[in-house]
Chains A and B, each alone.
Chain A
């Protein structure tokens, strides 16, 4: 099966090269027949990659330990669900999975755009296949999921596709097992969404590249690319939120975001993709920011690759780990080549990318979009810089430093607050210009709400400036959203005489993008509300409790009442029982546990913990079991009370719902550009 998969992938590789050559030729000669042949390669390559991926899944499912990937990432006792998820549990499998998703995305995008894009089409195919080629090269030559295990003459085992001289096939009795931290439902779903996001960011890049190559530089591409950016953006959002959910439930440190390099690698392209989401609107409406959009379409893709490089090459642990990694140099080469290549291409087309319009006023939606865009991109680069800084510092001063959460909170925090501020003001500004009085009028309600909230927090809750400012600004955004919904509904109610609810529904349905966007903003407000609550007002206590004794924290009483042991298929589970009460009220009985996995790889890591969690709209009560003595006579716990956590997850759901609302195909409308303001009533 290993050989079969390898051969299929090799054929896919050759056809990919053919497809690129043919598509470029077709574009240069303007030959539709040749172009169609190039397009068909996308479908063929996708089918082949699908087969190769299924081959890995099959080997995982039947415990084919002659395969190196299966032997080093799976084990017999692993539940079937996790065996299949092991496809994205290790490096070479996840890179093949990347190819697989790219294949699906490419096919879908080309199929939907082919008829509309006679000129860009072949270039689109060539670019998508070019990205695919890179990943196929990695899978075939650097990180191969189809390696088999061999015992060399000297007794060492290695993984290789072909039989090394004098070696014989080696089939271990069992695999080394999947990292226990990954054996969690959230962790199974999280990488899938994250990759759907990462890989999907190739699509705007491919579209931009196709536009630059073909010289078709009118604004139609930003219109059509929107959905191909919004979809990956939504997946990336889900992936990031699921990742936080996993960190919160599985890592047992009471937090949801540690600013570690892997997390940052997902946030950085999200920030530029969010900027792109906003700036394409300016080009659609006003024909401005054309070069900027080309850059953002590239950055999302490029930063996703950079992020993968940082986290997969080992460079972040130490500059020296880089040399050991087989994929590091290939990724670095790809990063440099795409960067220089894209820059040259953009430079070449620069004269054709002039703005159609000018900015009428600083008090306009265009200006607000421009500023918010810049802040998103700055946040992305600040985060990237902080993530890479330990390497820079180590190279220059030879001493190791760490850049952890407090640093990022200090440098990214103010930028995010700036973005919140613009989220509050921007939507109230009209295209082209807004008069001062009109802005004053629409800002009155949101500003009043913001001041009321900030004041109330100051007086009743805390003198800490973070919640005062962050919640105040969140209230500003909320006020703006409410005001916009109200005005939309009111205007329609007045003009059509429809009931309020119906008017609101109709305005929203006829204006999906606008109101979908506001729903996403509302989700962001809820997330900010929850996050700030959990970070600024967290209580925690690390404590050992003797059996049947209690401790107090944040108004709750925690009583440790017992310890049980249970066997699961591939691990032992030790569960403590902690009864939580508040005054006379029973809140919950929590069962935090420690899992001791049997597999070889897991034993090196030590036990993992499952938290005991009671969640409510006010706060989460979160208990971690860290150890026990004398058969449970004494147990060590870490207890957290995290205010408002639930709102973070609800906010995430609202964000996803808002994006779906904005994307949902309801009816096709012919877009119109605001070239000039309709005749304004002239005062006499």
Chain B
């Protein structure tokens, strides 16, 4: 695998030189078809610079990234699929170029932990609120809300008056 990459790389330098001599299109130095160009761009946005932190391959100006972009073009011309290309890069540089933890082994933890934390957090909030409401004594729980059925015909006014009362009441509370 590594050998084939190396060969591809050497080929690439040779061809790049040739292309330069012919004055090839700087925006398509490897003469890809429009579909291949689109595919190359898609692959570039899914890979990350192996040496810098948090820079996507398509945005990276490092030499190694420029070479990787050229290699993508070459491999597309060889007729390789997107998955094959990505796998070859992973073999070469490690999973670090995927930019996120792969969903297997210890790295699966990176994906399960947030879900677990959210569940624990919401569970905790639910448990707290349950505990609080249960502690409440029976008579208070039976307290009637201010808008009884009798107030309904004029619900609008009641709500606004209630709201004003609340605002005025809370003026002193500063919220």
State whether A382 touches B27 (Cβ < 8 A): no
Which A residues are in CB contact (< 8 Å) with B94? 399-401
B160 near A393 with CB under 8 A, answer: no
Residues of A within 8 A of B124 (CB): 374
Known contacts A401-B107, A674-B173, A682-B148; can you find 8 more A-B pairs with CB under 8 A? A359-B132, A402-B98, A403-B110, A404-B100, A435-B146, A491-B160, A511-B171, A683-B151
- How many pairs of residues, A versus B, come closer than 8 Å at their CB atoms? 199
Q: Which residues of A sit under 8 angstroms from B171, Cβ to Cβ?
A: 510-511, 669
Q: Is the Cβ of B136 less than 8 Å from the Cβ of A682?
A: no
B139 interfacial contact with A, CB 8 Å: no
> Given A362-B129, A437-B147: A511 and B169 within 8 A (CB)?
no
Interface residues of B in 92-138 (CB under 8 A from A): 94-102, 105-107, 109-111, 113-114, 117-118, 120-122, 124-125, 128-129, 132-133, 135-136
Tell me the residues in window 513-527 of chain A with beta carbons closer than 8 Å to chain B beta carbons: 513-514, 517
Judged by a CB distance under 8 angstroms, whether A352 is at the interface is: no
Of the candidates A317, A403, A491, A544, the one having the most CB atoms from chain B within 10 angstroms of its own CB is A491
B166 surroundings in chain A (CB, below 8 A): 430
Bound CA span A669–B117, Å? 40
Chain A residues, Cβ within 8 Å of B133: 358-362
For A638, give the chain B residue with the smallest CB separation.
B59
Chain A interface size band reads 35 or more
Contact present for B145 and A433 (CB under 8 Å):
yes
Tell yes or no: B167 within 8 A of A by CB.
yes
Residue of B106, B109, B122 with most partner-chain A CB within 10 A: B106
The 26 sampled A-B contact pairs (Cβ below 8 Å) are A254-B59, A258-B54, A359-B132, A360-B141, A374-B122, A378-B117, A389-B101, A389-B109, A392-B106, A402-B99, A403-B101, A404-B54, A438-B162, A494-B160, A513-B174, A514-B170, A542-B59, A544-B27, A670-B172, A671-B173, A671-B174, A674-B169, A674-B173, A678-B169, A680-B143, A681-B146
Question: Is there a chain B Cβ closer than 8 Å to A182's Cβ?
Answer: no
For B144, list chain A residues within 8 Å (CB): 680, 682-683
Main secondary structure of the interface of B (DSSP, over half): helix
The verdict on B53 contacting chain A, using a C-beta distance below 8 Å, is yes
> For chain A residues 626-674, which have a beta carbon within 8 Å of chain B?
626-627, 634, 636, 638, 669-674
The residue on B at minimum CB distance from A609 is B61
- CA separation between A261 and B109, bound complex, in Å? 19
Inter-chain contacts of B160 with A (CB < 8 A): 487, 490-491, 494
Given contacts A511-B167, A681-B151, contact A359 B159 (CB under 8 A): no
Interface footprint category on B: 35 or more
Q: Is the CB of A401 within 8 A of B101?
A: yes
Residues 381-410 (chain A) with a chain B CB within 8 angstroms: 381-382, 385-386, 389, 392-393, 396-397, 399-407
> Which chain B residues lie closer than 8 Å to A367 at the CB level?
129
Decide if B173 touches A491 in the complex (CB within 8 Å).
Answer: no
Task: Report yes or no: B54 in contact with A371, Cβ–Cβ below 8 A.
Answer: no
Whether A402 lies near B132 (C-beta < 8 A) is no
Cβ–Cβ contact A678 & B132, under 8 A: no
- Are A385 and B114 in contact, with the CB atoms below 8 A? yes
Name the interface residues of A87-132: CB closer than 8 Å to any CB of B.
none
